[in-house]
């Protein structure tokens, strides 16, 4: 993200203009964690249903569709494809 920016000397001067941005990042992080917790709960519910229906937990076609859709959305949002794929794989593995 910061490729091409020259490193600067460390400053000990407070930068008050950073605080509102940092608060917004903190809020977004909290929202992301809450969304991940909701997603994990949905995954648990799906696992129980699949168990009851004797369905395989992993369905490669579904996963391929999910990845393709999310990579398309990520591209539209300007997110790196490798980052997005790694994130999706980590979330999927945890589910």
Give residue 80's pLDDT.
Answer: 98
Q: Which two tokens stand for residue 43?
A: 């995954």
Alpha helices in 1-95 (DSSP H): 18-52, 60-76, 81-94
pLDDT, tens only, 39-89: 999 999 999 999 999 999 999 999 999 999 999 999 999 999 999 999 999
Mean pLDDT, residues 12-36: 92
Mean pLDDT, residues 16-34: 96
Q: What is the rounded distance in angstroms from the CA atom of residue 47 to the CA atom of residue 56?
A: 9
Q: Name every residue whose Cβ is closer than 8 Å to that of residue 70 and which is 6 or more positions away in sequence.
A: 84, 88
* pTM of the predicted structure, to 2 decimals: 0.78
């Amino acid at each position: 993200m910061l490729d091409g920016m020259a490193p600067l000397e460390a400053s000990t001067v407070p930068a008050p203009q950073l605080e509102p941005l940092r608060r917004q990042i903190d809020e977004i992080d909290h929202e992301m964690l809450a969304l991940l917790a909701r997603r994990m709960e949905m995954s648990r519910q799906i696992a129980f249903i699949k168990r009851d229906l004797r369905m395989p937990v992993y369905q490669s076609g579904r996963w391929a569709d999910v990845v393709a859709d999310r990579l398309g959305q990520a591209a539209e949002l300007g997110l790196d494809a490798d980052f997005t794929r790694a994130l999706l794989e980590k979330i999927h593995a945890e589910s």
